[in-house]
Structure 1
Amino acid sequence: MLGNITRREEYDLFAAWLAISLSFAIIKMAPYGVLGPITAVEPMVALTYLVIALLTAGIGLVLHELAHKFAAIKFGFWAEFRKNNFMLLVAVALAALVGFVFAAPGATVIYNVRPDGRVLTREENGKISAAGPLTNLLLFIPFAALFFISGPLSLVPNTLLYQIGIFGIQINAMIAAFNMLPISILDGNKVLSWNLPVFVLLLGASFAVLVSSFYIL
């Protein structure tokens, strides 16, 4: 399956992974951006934040897009992720200026006509769209496990793993919740057009995990 990832797609995913991870690392260091209160951050602390972001936000983004791609391939349609350089720049700039990340690094482009001439159906499009947010929700499991075994259930707490666990839960819940909004080209709009109960279930689960991650953890 990984052999279906093209060289250009590898480059685009890598660029998006770095840019989005950098954006989230920036808001960890400066929650209000350069326009707010600035606190000096030591180089090792900054590097730690970047590593955490790479392993949480970055991985969440890449797996989200690959889920769309592989779901489309399963139905017989070709799909490739394409980065948007302008939106990557916007993500980093907003994080640096005001401490806000607008994560729209690009999109997985689906070629909606198969070689045999059959076109993509509404159901198939809905399932392909649901695959991304569902993947982010499933990532809750390993990150939650990491959170508990390195914190509450650990005899020797590991701060780095603990932070990766918390941030991984929060960021992937954010990605899922944002993409499930029934707006424009977002996943939620396509899922809603296909199946209302699935839309409600994924949207509710996304926001439930998101809210609980901030008020319970």
Structure 2
Amino acid sequence: MKVSAREGRDLLIAWLALGFAFSLLYVRGITPTNMTDVLVSDLFVAEFALSLATVGVAFLLHELAHKVVAVNFGQHAEFRADYGMLALAVAGGLAGFLFAAPGAVHHRGYITPKEHGLIALAGPLTNVVLAGVSLAVIPFAPDIGQRGLFINVLLAGFNMIPFGPLDGATVLDWSPVAYAAAAVPTIGPALLLFFGV
């Protein structure tokens, strides 16, 4: 699987921007007068490293899973960062509310509805696997494990909502049965995590 120079740059920038945005969200009390001091503090540096290792990896492996499956089906596929949304994520982190849509894998070439559905499903299922890995890591590295579990459960569930450009809508268009089966390990844990359903 090839990664172009532009794609590599976009992946790196999206990873760093997401890590930075989530660090701003988790380190409270940043003001224009203390921003420089906070950004070079040990607390912020540690939070940035934690966010890169969890949030950044969760988002980017989700997108790369789409690419791997698309390429397997003969597609030309590349990740493209959405710089406007990345800037919004950083601004949101400062404001204490974050919506992150770092970009997407764009693919082209002929595919069947089933192949399109499987490409869409690859991202959320990757987050399910990463959530399982994070759960296993909790006894050894609680910060990484808990943050990884939270973000991967969130991403898997959110992306399987059958609406608009989200992965769930593509999967449902392909197969309601496949969608229902995928909703159990994706949307189910997210509902449990957030609402105790």
Provide TM-score, normalisation by structure 2: 0.88
Q: Which residue of 1 aligns with 2:25?
A: 27
For 2:160 and 2:188, locate their aligned partners in 1 and report how far apart those are by CA, in whole Å: 13
Q: Which residue of 2 aligns with 1:108?
A: 105
For 1:70 and 1:206, locate their aligned partners in 2 and report how far apart those are by CA, in whole Å: 20
Select which of 171, 186, 189 maps to 2:166.
186
Structure 2 unaligned residues grouped into runs of 5+: 32-36
1:59-208 alignment to 2 at 5 Å? Answer: 59-97=57-95, 99-111=96-108, 113=109, 119-147=110-138, 149-150=139-140, 161-208=141-188
- Any conservation in 1 of the 2:157–2:188 contact (CA below 8 Å)? no
Structure 1 unaligned residues grouped into runs of 5+: 35-39, 114-118, 151-160
Q: Which residue of 1 aligns with 2:34?
A: none
- Any conservation in 2 of the 1:166–1:213 contact (CA below 8 Å)? no
For 2:163 and 2:191, locate their aligned partners in 1 and report how far apart those are by CA, in whole Å: 21
Query: Aligned pair count?
Result: 190
Provide TM-score, normalisation by structure 1: 0.81
Q: Which residue of 1 aligns with 2:41?
A: 43
Give how far 1:146 is off.
0.6
- The one-letter amino acid paired with 1:58 is G
- The one-letter amino acid paired with 1:139 is L
Residue 26 of structure 1 aligns to a residue in which SS?
Answer: helix
Give how far 1:142 is off.
1.5
Give how far 1:73 is off.
0.7
- The one-letter amino acid paired with 1:110 is H
Select which of 42, 49, 52 maps to 1:54.
52
- Any conservation in 2 of the 1:9–1:81 contact (CA below 8 Å)? yes
After the TM superposition, list the runs of 4 or more consecutive aligned residues in structure 1 that deviate by more than 6 angstroms.
none
For 2:23 and 2:181, locate their aligned partners in 1 and report how far apart those are by CA, in whole Å: 31
For 2:191 and 2:111, locate their aligned partners in 1 and report how far apart those are by CA, in whole Å: 35
For 2:166 and 2:118, locate their aligned partners in 1 and report how far apart those are by CA, in whole Å: 13
Of stretches 42-51 and 72-81 in structure 1, the one that deviates more from structure 2 is 42-51
For 2:193 and 2:144, locate their aligned partners in 1 and report how far apart those are by CA, in whole Å: 13
For 1:194 and 1:131, locate their aligned partners in 2 and report how far apart those are by CA, in whole Å: 14
- Any conservation in 2 of the 1:170–1:214 contact (CA below 8 Å)? no
Residue 183 of structure 1 aligns to a residue in which SS?
Answer: coil
* CA 1:196–1:209: 2 relative to 1, 3 Å: same
For 1:22 and 1:198, locate their aligned partners in 2 and report how far apart those are by CA, in whole Å: 36
* CA 1:215–1:25: 2 relative to 1, 3 Å: farther
Deviations 1:130-156 (A, max 9, x none): 000000111012111110x32xxxxxx
- The one-letter amino acid paired with 2:119 is I
Give how far 1:211 is off.
4.3
For 1:18 and 1:11, locate their aligned partners in 2 and report how far apart those are by CA, in whole Å: 11
- Any conservation in 2 of the 1:5–1:80 contact (CA below 8 Å)? yes
